[in-house]
Amino acid sequence: MNTDQIQTQAQTFWGRYSIFVKSILVGFLILVLLIPTAFIQELVRERQQRQDEVINEVSSKWASEQTVTGPFLVIPYNETQKDEKGQLYTVKKQIHYLPDLLEIDGKLFPEIRHRSIFKIVLYKSDLVVKGKFLPVPLQSIGIDPSAVLWNEIRLCVAISDNRGIDEQLQVNWNGAAVDMDPGVPSTDISSSGVNALVNNGAELKDKEQSFQLRIKLKGSERLYFTPVGKKTTVQLQSNWTQPAFDGKFLPSQTPTITNDGFKANWTILHFTRDIPQIWTDHKVKVEDNAFGVQLLQGVDSYSKTMRAVKYALLFIALTFCLFFFIEVLKKKSVHPLQYVLVGLALCIFYILLLSVSEYIRFDFAYLIASIATIGLITFYIHSVFKNTTVSAALFAFLSALYGFIYILIQLQDGALLFGSIGLFVLLAVVMYYSRKIDWYGTKMNTEVVKEETNS
């Protein structure tokens, strides 16, 4: 076998398998480039964790998320018990009694505080709380009225973070003003809050008692309430335009949300809550029934960036497939290193997006990072192929791809539907243009045979 024959066979082998080998190499490079995207995801998590740390730090100096529970009554009573020797002794226990009616009318005044590049949502609130207690139904829990210490009854309001109390609290109990003190006599409902000694507690034997108090409370991001009333109504309003209503109960009617703020109302009956109206010494998880509002800052830029990074495989794979098709159809060889450089440019897009979105809105950050990345790749490919048509086609393809991913990031409920339709269309385009590729090198083999025949 002479040298010409060896060269001819080598050309035949490479002509038949070159596309296959190159496609395997391109696939390998796609997998390799997933390594830097994993590091980028970790970087996003790290920045998001740093944001959470800053929020917690600022909240710890202001006041954390607040949950208001109450008012409720803590009623002490004496219970006679026997010891092992049969001797009688007295144990002081407590009754927890909830109001028949609880009405809360509140206003929220949000504030934005800055720490470094991060923003924290704080608020001040003005709450007017009023309602009434019916006579204590001692017969329902089997306690003798004579055992109750009527002069030691305390009205309590559980507040999750007492640092948020902005001024001295005073409760109007049945027409008489009473100063409140910090702390609660029982931790069965909460470990923090305020309390006041009830005047003329003995009247609770057979008369209903009314109350009213005003609470100016500071907090961070969330304000929740617990429906301790047999009937609880809560009305909240604020100038914040991006509220989220969550917890155990949603507003009774569709909240009003405008450019001037929001207004929401809740009406909750005791049938729907998991709290007894009266009970003795044992813990009840009243906080499981809490509801309220969260003051959002829009969709977190870190969450959006993380969603964008999850589409990195789609970005890299589709771009490399386009390069591969152009290389094959234009019969212009592209070095693997050039694939890697383009892939790294695609990865740098996410770092640009992450860093810029910490200073400006995510939408503008995405636009800036997209223009920079598309421009860089288009300029580079133009220098490789020396073809304006190819560069323009690549520019249009990348612009459509980045636009498609941006829409997916913005969507919530329709992301799956829109994404599946978009991927189907992309696959159809890829299949259409792949028809022109000579996957088995049959044309080159035919040309080689013709050359051998003519020789």
Model pLDDT, residue 11:
46
Tell me, yes or no, whether 334 and 432 share the same domain: yes
Model pLDDT, residue 329:
72
Cα 373 to Cα 347: distance, rounded to the nearest angstrom:
9
- 138-168 tens-digit pLDDT: 988 889 888 999 999 999 999 999 999 988 9
Which of 64-78, 287-301, 306-320, 352-366 is modeled with the greatest confidence? Answer: 64-78
Residue type, 181: D
Residue 352 makes CB contacts below 8 A (sequence gap 6+) with 365, 368, 369, 372, 373
- 249-269 tens-digit pLDDT: 999 988 999 999 999 999 999
Tell me, yes or no, whether 166 and 108 share the same domain: yes
β pairing state of 231-238 and 101-115: parallel
Give the largest CA-CA distance in the chain. 124
Residue type, 19: I
Determine how many CB atoms are found less than 10 A away from the CB of residue 152: 16
Domain with 239, as residue range(s), is 65-298
Determine how many CB atoms are found less than 10 A away from the CB of residue 157: 24
Model pLDDT, residue 13:
43
Q: Which two tokens stand for residue 63?
A: 């006041």
Residue 54 placed within a domain: no
Determine how many CB atoms are found less than 10 A away from the CB of residue 197: 15
Considering only CA atoms, which of 221, 104, 216 is closest in space to residue 162?
216
pLDDT band at 14 (very low <50, low <70, confident <90, very high): very low
Which of 103-107, 141-145, 183-187, 414-418 is modeled with the greatest confidence? Answer: 103-107
What secondary structure does DSSP assign to 124-143, as a single string?
EEEEEEEEEEPPP-GGGGT-
Tell me, yes or no, whether 244 and 112 share the same domain: yes
Residue type, 262: F
**Greater confidence, 447 or 184?**
184
Tell me, yes or no, whether 427 and 350 share the same domain: yes
Model pLDDT, residue 10:
44
Tell me, yes or no, whether 293 and 310 share the same domain: no
Q: Minimum mean pLDDT among 208-217, 239-248, 380-389, 442-451: which range?
A: 442-451
pLDDT band at 448 (very low <50, low <70, confident <90, very high): very low
Looking at every residue in the chain, the average pLDDT score rounds to: 83
Model pLDDT, residue 97:
94
Signed CA dihedral, 217, 220, 221, 227: sign only: negative
**What residues pair up with 293 in beta bridges, in sequence order?**
223, 245
Tell me, yes or no, whether 274 and 374 share the same domain: no
Instruction: Tell which of 255, 272, 298 closes a domain.
Output: 298
**Greater confidence, 113 or 129?**
129
DSSP, res 286: G
Quote the number of domains for the chain.
2
Q: Which two tokens stand for residue 393?
A: 């086609």
Q: Which two tokens stand for residue 256?
A: 């009003």
pLDDT at 445 over 80: no
pLDDT band at 442 (very low <50, low <70, confident <90, very high): low
Residue 87 makes CB contacts below 8 A (sequence gap 6+) with none
* pLDDT, average across residues 223-239: 95
Q: pTM above the 0.85 mark? A: no
Tell me, yes or no, whether 372 and 260 share the same domain: no
Tell me, yes or no, whether 213 and 323 share the same domain: no
Tell me, yes or no, whether 354 and 394 share the same domain: yes
β pairing state of 66-82 and 222-226: parallel
Instruction: Tell which of 298, 318, 334 closes a domain.
Output: 298
